[in-house]
Structure 1
Amino acid sequence: MKWGLIGASTIAKEWVISAIRAVGDDVIAVVSADDQRAKEFAQSNEIVQYSSDINALLENPDVDSVYISTKNHLHKEQALLAIRAGKHVMCEKPLALSLEDAHEMVKAAQDAGLVFATNHHLRNAASHTAMRQAVQSGLIGKPLAARVFHAVSLPPHLQGWRIAEGAEGGGVILDITVHDADTLRYILNDDPVEVTAFTQTGVLSKTGLPDSVMGVMRFKSGLIAQFHDSFTAKHADTGLEIIGTEGTLVARNVMTQKPVGEVSLVNAQGTRKMILEHVNLYESGFRQFGEAVAGRAQPAATGHDGIWSLATGIAVVQAAQSGRATPVAHG
């Protein structure tokens, strides 16, 4: 399968291009709003076609699928253009800035018979898959609570609009909290229904956008989950815990793009580390995307998964602004 990149992004350069090529596909075109950036990006990544005109990419009959990693407010228009051009779509999270737009994107792909996926890479981690299997097999009994530690230090080259532009979808919630929501949904096979949250701003962000958030999600099953997400934690490890009636899963260094981390099961018999076979998270996601295009599987994270994480993120934003518990309006 041949891919076009909509967005000459850091994530594409550092993770996605190599993942696509590792699974036997190739990247043959890139588009960026800045023609010089598109040219330099293409040359440094051995991509043949480059342009500042998205139509030039979409009119290329050799492009089968597109990966969208532009600023969040651009996703909807670009995805719909790609779908109209008959391209399968892998879109970065959040899918859009409103649920109505996200639903429109997913429905358009469904009506066109095209694969639409959300790049929630964390659910591809060996750690999270092991936790999901442990929960499903009853190793910890009934899940009662969870805790997510996803406080990191946002490097200077990734700051920009993420800490300054609310209209473009910046802020820690739509960047990180949506990942928490998707990872918990994947592990628990459960959906959030209500959230509360408090935000912090001013360490990096000077425009009022939150650069840290703490809160609680309540799930359909009754499980409650604490979460802490931040752009400003320079010396903190990430982690995730699932507490059940018969045991607890403790994962450390797992909310990361890297194939690392460990998971322990703690129960009446003591503590034992689970055996993990780490794999590249992005390679797994793009390999499964290819299987979906071939009609043999669903994407690792579907468009509907992306809608759920966006709905949760929007609810967290609203809860922090209002100071009240807010329902997750999945739509």
Structure 2
Amino acid sequence: MNWAFVGASTIASQHMMNAVRQQAGNEVTWIVSNSPDRVKVWAKEHNVANATTSLEDAISDPEVGAVYISSTNEKHHAQAMAAIAAKKHVLCEKPLGMTLQEATEMVRAANAARVTFGTNHHLRCSGSHRAIRKLIAQGRVGKVLSLRIHHAVHLPDHLQGWRINSADSGGGVIPDIVVHDADVTRFLLQEDPATVVAQMTSSGMGQGVEDSCMSVWTMPSGAMVMTHESFTHPFAGSSLEVHGTQGSIFANGVMTQRPVGAITLVTEVGREEIAFPDHSLYVMGVSEFVAATEGHGRPAADGPDGVKSLSVALSVREAAKTGQRVEVDYGGF
């Protein structure tokens, strides 16, 4: 299957290009970017045959079967809708859109067109997160009482730009990181947050968007979730904890694009270090997406997964703005 990449982004160059090329018979044949100069340089650097500023050029190519979208957030909806109308499979970066309505429209359009739609939530493809999910499903911690995610990092200079300066482009730590933590929570606990309370702040790293957030979520099972996301913490590291009636899981350094970190299970019998595979998160995610386009299984994170992670993030932002508890609206999914 040939792919068109929409957005000459860092994630596309550092992770997704190799992930696609690792799939037998798959190649990236188009790169689309708004900048004529950037798109030509990017295509040459990555050996992509066709470079254009016109999405229509790429999706009108009958040899293109899939479109990967990693443009700025405000462009996702229109680009995905155009690709779906052209009967292309779509793998879109999170968040799917700027609003719940945009995200649900994309997913419903893909369903109607009978094309595969995936959300590129890479963390659920990691060996560490899949090992943690298995421990929970096996009952190793008993009934889950709480989940804590510490995802406060320092956003590298080369990734800042619109993420810290442009609300119109979908910037801010909430659409950038809270969506990840929402998907991780849903993936691990296999249930959807019901209500959220939150606070957010801006330290001055950028202008016009929040760069730090803390929130507490209630789950239908009665479990509580606490998350902390930030762009401003250079030395904090990241961690994930699951606490239950029979044990606790401590996972350090696993909220990352790389297959690293350590997992410890603590129960009444002592401490157990949990091994996990170190495969590429992105190769795994693209592999499962490609299989889904061929009628085998589903993407690691499908369209409804993307809708739901966005819904939680939007609810967190509303709760932080209003100071009120917010019920999460999943738009019918």
Q: Structure 1 length as normaliser, TM-score? A: 0.99
Aligned to 2:85: 84
SS, match of residue 266 in structure 1: strand
Q: Take 1:97 and 1:190, find their aligned partners in 2: how far apart are those partners? A: 23
Aligned to 1:279: 279
Structure 1 consecutive aligned stretches of length 4 or more whose deviation exceeds 4 Å: none
Aligned to 2:54: 53
Which letter does structure 1 place at the counterpart of 2:269? Q
TM alignment of 1:1-331, pairs within 5 A: 1-24=1-24, 25-207=26-208, 209-331=209-331
Q: Deviations over 1:219-276 (max 9, x none)?
A: 1111111111000111111110010010001100000000111111101001111111
Deviation at 1:324, TM superposition (A): 1.1
Matched-pair contact (CA < 8 Å) for 1:149–1:229: yes
Q: Take 2:263 and 2:223, find their aligned partners in 1: how far apart are those partners? A: 20
Q: Deviations over 1:180-230 (max 9, x none)?
A: 0001100111110111111120331232x1101011111111111111100
Deviation at 1:2, TM superposition (A): 1.0
Deviation at 1:23, TM superposition (A): 2.1
Matched-pair contact (CA < 8 Å) for 1:203–1:232: no
SS, match of residue 192 in structure 1: coil
Q: Take 2:33 and 2:191, find their aligned partners in 1: how far apart are those partners? A: 38
Deviation at 1:33, TM superposition (A): 0.5
Q: Deviations over 1:120-160 (max 9, x none)?
A: 00000111101111111111000010100101111111111
Matched-pair contact (CA < 8 Å) for 1:196–1:320: yes
Q: Take 1:142 and 1:297, find their aligned partners in 2: how far apart are those partners? A: 29
SS, match of residue 283 in structure 2: helix
Deviation at 1:90, TM superposition (A): 0.2
Q: Take 1:43 and 1:97, find their aligned partners in 2: how far apart are those partners? A: 32
Q: Take 1:2 and 1:271, find their aligned partners in 2: how far apart are those partners? A: 47
Deviation at 1:107, TM superposition (A): 0.6
Matched-pair contact (CA < 8 Å) for 1:260–1:278: yes
Which letter does structure 2 place at the counterpart of 1:17? M
SS, match of residue 216 in structure 2: strand
Which letter does structure 2 place at the counterpart of 1:132? R
Q: Take 1:267 and 1:200, find their aligned partners in 2: how far apart are those partners? A: 37
Q: Take 2:199 and 2:326, find their aligned partners in 1: how far apart are those partners? A: 12
Q: Take 2:137 and 2:227, find their aligned partners in 1: how far apart are those partners? A: 22
Q: Take 1:267 and 1:253, find their aligned partners in 2: how far apart are those partners? A: 21
Matched-pair contact (CA < 8 Å) for 1:264–1:272: yes
Query: Unaligned 5+ residue runs, structure 1?
Result: none
Q: Take 2:204 and 2:251, find their aligned partners in 1: how far apart are those partners? A: 28
Q: Take 2:140 and 2:202, find their aligned partners in 1: how far apart are those partners? A: 40
Which letter does structure 2 place at the counterpart of 1:68? I
Matched-pair contact (CA < 8 Å) for 1:127–1:254: yes
SS, match of residue 206 in structure 1: coil
SS, match of residue 291 in structure 2: helix
Which letter does structure 1 place at the counterpart of 2:292? A
Matched-pair contact (CA < 8 Å) for 1:239–1:254: yes
Matched-pair contact (CA < 8 Å) for 2:166–2:207: no
SS, match of residue 65 in structure 1: strand
Which letter does structure 1 place at the counterpart of 2:301? A
Deviation at 1:57, TM superposition (A): 0.5
Query: Unaligned 5+ residue runs, structure 2?
Result: none
Which letter does structure 2 place at the counterpart of 1:52? T
Deviation at 1:310, TM superposition (A): 0.3
Q: Structure 2 length as normaliser, TM-score? A: 0.98
Matched-pair contact (CA < 8 Å) for 2:288–2:300: yes
Q: Take 1:202 and 1:132, find their aligned partners in 2: how far apart are those partners? A: 34
